[in-house]
């Protein structure tokens, strides 16, 4: 056969994956194929495939008769918004996207290329886990990937989209990466599926309930984004990449921005005077940041803290903010873990941090203590202490107790600490404080109610304001809320060349 004809024939074969019938089944489930996903994700005509003629080497169970070019994963590189990315996209039509020895080798090859060339790695996962027919070589293949994920962590951004059922080994590689995105109703993540669960624990549970997008977006926090369909998922990946640099030596892209009137009068009205009245911190974020620039991460998990990316005068920032409209913005186990992981990502990839504080403290109770609020709260504390990127804090209202220290206080390395005029920086709220320190005096008084009120007013006068902290330099400036945006634009510009060297060490030991 003519060599060119043979090549064309082989290339056509690679496009067919596991064959037309299986492609049709994939479409019937509302899923795209591995190649269709790549087409939507990458800039037109930018994809260059690597390893399309690879086949598996298995000869057990008659496998030598079932060979598919590419062996269930499409790998290569291309561009998104003109920036290079490396990509693997698992093909469920070939042995359920399961991972063979050679499938793993293909993924490892492009992971190595992404590392040596300093560009993000994107995995589109749709895999039934280890290729059962191959046994230990498949397990070894997974471990080769986990090892590379870990080596690459903090060096290049790693994004994992879950676009089908992902079981066993197929979930642990995503778990090591920086961000997981799941598709609602068609993607699942579990270490063992419903059948195994039933056998071992006698629990009856559906795939959706055990490991669907909603479960992982709300209950476990495993996924950072829950997307309504595959296209939405791919669009999220593209958007996410606009906020982050190519690697840890690089800076995030700056978008052109011309300064205009940056005063935001609405900020004077958004925050209730009373310390216990809820409000939505998202509204504050929307006023402070560039229009429509807030990309919230972990939106429906631990809602008492908000984290996400935004831009301020075109510059990418990471935001961590207490959310007074959920559990009064208290810090608990899940919100501490969520905040800490986000802070560490931003720090690893040179993204400055903005921290908005309105926090009543840590959540008390046996549930929290027995599940380790001490260790978990310390994660957030550690993450802020360790971060060397520009770090700015704005206290919008309360900053009580240990949570004041934790939420990027001056003492743990914040570069700039602003407070609104009604900010309260104290060990605790006035009433709680007075009931402890003046307990005997109040009880002995002829009119305990009046005495309590007097003492509360006295304590509030002394501590429920930002001036004590400002007098000591813990707050750099007390600002008119309407001027927050311009203050932040100037401060982030001033800090753009910040250098902060950490003491020499192998690595720290964050309380995991
Ligand atoms: C080989 C597999 C496979 C696998 C699926 N297939 N999983 N082939 N190895 N792991 C094949 C099927 O035989 C079938 O082939 C095709 O893929 C589609 O599978 P279906 O079962 O028909 O699809 P569906 O009903 O959508 O169910 C998908 C699924 C299910 C939920 C993923 O197939 C499943 O439970 N698979 C096994 C999952 C699993 O236990 N994996 C091993 C985990 S252990 P045909 O020819 O019919 O198209 C593991 C260890 C690593 O990963 C641990 C590291 C820490």
What pLDDT does 116 receive? 98
pLDDT of 487 higher than 90? yes
Per-residue pLDDT tens over the stretch 8-61: 999 999 999 999 999 999 999 999 999 999 999 999 999 999 999 999 999 989
Report the alpha-carbon distance of residue 395 to residue 284 in Å, rounded. 12
166 lines ligand 1 (CB under 6 A): no
Residue range(s) in the chain whose domain bears CATH number 3.90.226.10: 3-241, 267-427+465-494
pLDDT of residue 311: 98
Rounded Cα distance, 117 and 296, in Å:
29
Q: Return the residue whose CA atom lies nearest to atom 16 of ligand 1.
A: 96
pLDDT tens digits for range 323-366: 999 999 999 999 999 999 999 999 999 999 999 999 999 999 99
Whether 116 contacts 154, CB under 8 Å: no
pLDDT value for 462 = 85
Average pLDDT over residues 251-259: 95
Above pLDDT 70, what percent of the chain? 100
Tokens of 401: 């107790």
- What is the predicted pLDDT for the residue at 429? 81
Please state the rounded mean pLDDT for residues 151-174: 95
Looking at residue 16, what is its pLDDT? 93
Atom 4, ligand 1: residue with shortest CA distance? 131
Query: Is 143 a catalytic site residue?
Result: no
Ligand 1: atom nearest CA of 93 is 48
Q: How far apart (Å, rounded) are the C-alpha atoms in residues 120 and 177? A: 11
Which residue(s) pair with 296 in the sheet? 308
pLDDT category, 461, cuts 50, 70, 90?
A: confident
- What span, in angstroms and rounded, lies between the C-alpha atoms of 142 and 130? 8
pLDDT at 273 over 90: no
Residue 392: what pLDDT? 98
Largest CA distance in the chain: 108
Are the C-beta atoms of residues 278 and 328 closer than 8 Å to each other?
yes
Virtual torsion, Cα 489, 492, 497, 503, nearest 10 deg: 180
Confidence of residue 250 (pLDDT cuts 50, 70, 90): very high
**The predicted structure's pLDDT at residue 153:** 98
- What one-character DSSP code corresponds to residue 255? P
Is residue 145 within 6 Å of ligand 1 at its C-beta?
no
85 CA distance to ligand 1 middle (Å): 28
The atom of ligand 1 lying closest to the CA of 193 is 35
189 band by pLDDT with thresholds 50, 70 and 90: very high
- Is the pLDDT at 1 greater than 90? The verdict is no
Cα atoms in the Cβ-side hemisphere of radius 13 Å centred on 205: 20
Nearest CA, atom 49, ligand 1: 168
Of 193, 192, 190, 161, whose CA–CA distance to 177 is shortest? 161
pLDDT tens digit string along 396-432?
999 999 999 999 999 999 999 999 999 999 888 888 8
**Best of 128, 150, 196 to mutate for ligand 1, by most ligand atoms within 8 A of CB?**
128
Rounded percentage of the chain residues whose pLDDT exceeds 90: 91
Residue 220 has pLDDT above 90, yes or no: yes
- Which of the residues 72, 78, 128, 168 is marked catalytic? 168
Residue 433's pLDDT is 87
| Whether this model's pTM surpasses 0.75 | yes
Q: How many CB atoms lie within 10 A of CB 330?
A: 21
Using the mean position of ligand 1's atoms as its centre, give its distance from the Cα of residue 459 in Å: 64
**pLDDT of 190-213, one tens digit each?**
998 899 999 999 999 999 999 999
Residue whose Cα lies nearest atom 7 of ligand 1: it is 128
| 27 and 57 Cβ atoms separated by less than 8 Å | no
Q: To which CATH superfamily is domain 3-241 assigned?
A: 2-enoyl-CoA Hydratase; Chain A, domain 1 (3.90.226.10)
Report angle CA 469, 471, 474 to the nearest 5 degrees: 40
Protein fold of 267-427+465-494: 2-enoyl-CoA Hydratase; Chain A, domain 1 (3.90.226)
Q: What is the DSSP string of 442-511?
A: HHHSSSHHHHHHHHHHHHHHHHSSSHHHHHTTSSSEE--GGGHHHHHHHHHHHTTT---PPPP-S-----
Q: What is the pLDDT of residue 268?
A: 96
């Amino acid at each position: 056969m003519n060599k060119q004809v043979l090549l064309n024939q082989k290339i056509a074969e690679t496009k067919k994956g596991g064959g037309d019938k299986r492609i049709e089944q994939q479409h019937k489930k509302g899923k795209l194929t591995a190649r269709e996903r790549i087409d939507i994700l990458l800039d037109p005509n930018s994809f260059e495939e690597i390893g399309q003629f690879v086949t598996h080497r298995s000869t057990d169970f008659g496998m030598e008769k079932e060979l598919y070019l590419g062996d269930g994963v499409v790998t290569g590189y291309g561009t998104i918004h003109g920036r290079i990315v490396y990509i693997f996209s698992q093909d469920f039509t070939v042995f359920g996207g399961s991972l063979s020895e050679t499938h793993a080798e293909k993924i490892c090859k492009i992971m190595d290329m992404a590392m040596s060339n300093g560009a993000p790695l994107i995995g589109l996962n749709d895999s039934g886990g280890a290729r059962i027919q191959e046994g230990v070589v498949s397990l070894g293949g997974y471990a080769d990937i986990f090892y590379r994920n870990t080596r690459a962590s903090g060096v290049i951004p790693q994004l994992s989209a879950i676009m089908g059922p992902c079981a066993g080994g197929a979930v642990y590689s995503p778990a090591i990466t920086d961000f997981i995105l799941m598709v609602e109703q068609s993607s699942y993540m579990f270490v063992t599926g419903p059948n195994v669960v039933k056998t071992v624990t006698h629990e009856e549970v559906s795939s959706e309930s055990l490991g669907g997008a909603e479960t992982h977006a709300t209950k476990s926090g495993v996924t950072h984004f829950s997307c309504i369909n595959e296209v939405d998922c791919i669009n999220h990946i593209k958007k996410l990449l606009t906020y982050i640099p190519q690697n840890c030596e690089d800076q995030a892209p700056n978008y052109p921005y011309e300064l205009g009137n940056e005063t935001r009068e609405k900020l004077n009205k958004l925050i209730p005077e009373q310390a216990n009245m809820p409000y939505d911190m998202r509204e504050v974020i929307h006023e402070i940041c560039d229009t429509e620039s807030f990309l919230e991460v972990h939106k429906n998990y631990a809602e008492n803290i908000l984290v996400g990316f935004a831009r301020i005068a075109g510059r990418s920032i990471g935001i961590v903010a207490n959310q007074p409209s959920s559990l009064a913005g208290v810090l608990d186990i899940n919100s501490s873990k969520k905040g800490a992981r986000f802070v560490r990502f931003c720090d690893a990839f040179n993204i400055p941090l903005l921290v908005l504080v309105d926090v009543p403290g840590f959540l008390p109770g046996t549930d929290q203590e027995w599940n380790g609020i001490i260790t978990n709260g310390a994660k957030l504390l550690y993450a802020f202490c360790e971060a060397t990127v520009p770090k700015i804090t704005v206290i919008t209202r309360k900053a009580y107790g240990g949570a004041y220290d934790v939420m990027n206080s001056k003492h743990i390395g914040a570069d700039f600490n602003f407070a609104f005029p009604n900010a309260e920086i104290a060990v605790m709220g006035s009433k709680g404080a007075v009931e402890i320190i003046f307990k005997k005096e109040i009880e002995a008084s002829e009119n305990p109610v009046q005495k309590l009120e007097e003492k509360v007013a006295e304590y509030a006068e002394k501590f429920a304001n930002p001036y004590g902290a400002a007098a000591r330099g813990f707050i750099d400036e007390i600002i008119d809320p309407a001027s927050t945006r311009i203050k932040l634009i100037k401060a982030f510009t001033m800090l753009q060349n910040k250098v902060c060297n950490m003491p020499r060490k192998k690595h720290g030991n964050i309380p995991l």
